[in-house]
């Protein structure tokens, strides 16, 4: 497990984007061999997406041979709703890059048969060859995707009831009106993400500090689903200084002492112009 600690949100976002950029370019995707990327929504990955758009516009990165699978979607919210995750992804990322719409997969929260939709999503991931890199964020209660506290750590894509804390946290996107916040979602499972060849978790802000502590310094616990990734062979946590406030000083010092090794993953930054 790697823990990469950057000074602030902007630097953490840039480091994550450079890592994704290098992973895609090193993979050398083609029409016969797509790079498969799992993606999150929310405020945390926004800065990373902005940097990836910047790399595409500068001609250094292409998503032509990339397939994406998003983590989750609300149930009952139309795709056109400004707070649906379809809208988020297209407005903040997909429409600004060269990905084919047919290669950008997002769960359908309005499917007639939600269980069948979840099973089909798992099948699509399998048919795509599995996820090469799954990027995720977490909630203050340590949930990954919508795998709320108490979720099975071997769970698959399914319908999930949202915890009260999650509904309250998301109310800011719905005019702070709790009655407008969806109470159900479709989400990939912890086991779905664990099946990825590599997992990257973005954690920023002091309000996520206790969750990072639970993810790094304590044992695996289904009440803090992000802790499951301690057991993944290739997990990389990327955080800012604020998110480390609950960690022991020696833990922070240990991982900062490895930054010269971690930075070799993004330096040099690769470009498709050089291929």
pLDDT the model gives residue 160: 96
- Point out the catalytic residue in the list 86, 143, 232, 262: 143
218 is catalytic: no
Domain residue ranges of the chain, discontinuous segments joined by +? 2-264
Tell me which residue of 271, 274, 275, 263 sits closest to 58, measured CA to CA: 271
Per-residue pLDDT of the chain (275 residues; tens, 9 = 90+): 999 999 999 999 999 999 999 999 999 999 999 999 999 999 999 999 999 999 999 999 999 999 999 999 999 999 999 999 999 999 999 999 999 999 999 999 999 999 999 999 999 999 999 999 999 999 999 999 999 999 999 999 999 999 898 899 889 999 999 999 999 999 999 999 999 999 999 999 999 999 999 999 999 999 999 999 999 999 999 999 999 999 999 999 999 999 999 999 999 999 999 98
Taking each helix axis from N to C end, the angle separating 46-57 and 9-27, rounded to the nearest 10 degrees, works out to 50
- Point out the catalytic residue in the list 72, 122, 132, 242: 72
pLDDT the model gives residue 199: 98
Helix (H, G, I), strand (E, B) or coil at 137: strand
- Point out the catalytic residue in the list 122, 132, 148, 195: 148
165 is catalytic: no
Within 8 A by CB and 6+ apart from 58, the residues are none
pLDDT the model gives residue 200: 98
The runs of H, that is alpha helices, within the chain are 9-27, 46-57, 85-92, 114-127, 164-170, 190-194, 209-216, 249-256, 259-262
pLDDT the model gives residue 165: 85
Q: Which CATH number applies to 2-264?
A: 3.40.50.1360
141 is catalytic: yes
7 is catalytic: no
- Point out the catalytic residue in the list 14, 73, 132, 141: 141
């Amino acid at each position: 497990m790697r823990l990469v600690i950057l000074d602030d949100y902007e630097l953490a976002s840039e480091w994550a984007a450079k890592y994704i950029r290098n992973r895609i370019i090193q993979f050398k995707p083609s029409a016969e061999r797509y790079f498969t990327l799992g993606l999150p929504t929310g405020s945390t990955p926004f800065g990373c997406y902005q940097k990836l758009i910047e790399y595409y516009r500068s001609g250094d990165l292409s998503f032509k041979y990339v397939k994406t699978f998003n983590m989750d979607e609300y149930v009952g919210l139309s795709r056109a709703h400004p707070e649906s995750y379809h809208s988020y992804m297209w407005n903040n990322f997909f429409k600004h890059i060269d990905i084919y719409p047919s290669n950008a997969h997002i769960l359908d929260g309005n499917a007639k048969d939600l269980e069948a939709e979840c099973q089909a999503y798992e099948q699509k991931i399998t048919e795509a060859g599995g996820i090469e890199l799954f990027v995720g964020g977490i909630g203050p209660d340590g949930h990954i995707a919508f795998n709320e506290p108490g979720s099975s750590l071997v769970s698959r894509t399914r319908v999930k009831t949202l915890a009260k804390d999650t509904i309250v946290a998301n109310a800011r996107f719905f005019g702070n009106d709790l009655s407008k916040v969806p109470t159900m979602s479709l989400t990939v499972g912890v086991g779905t993400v664990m099946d990825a060849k590599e997992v990257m978790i973005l954690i920023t802000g002091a309000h996520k500090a206790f969750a990072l502590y639970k993810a790094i310094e304590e044992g695996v616990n289904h009440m803090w689903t992000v802790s499951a990734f301690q057991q993944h062979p290739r997990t990389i946590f990327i955080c800012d200084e604020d998110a480390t406030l609950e960690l022991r000083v020696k833990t922070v010092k240990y991982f900062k002492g490895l930054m010269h090794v971690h930075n070799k993953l993004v330096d040099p930054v690769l470009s498709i112009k050089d291929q």
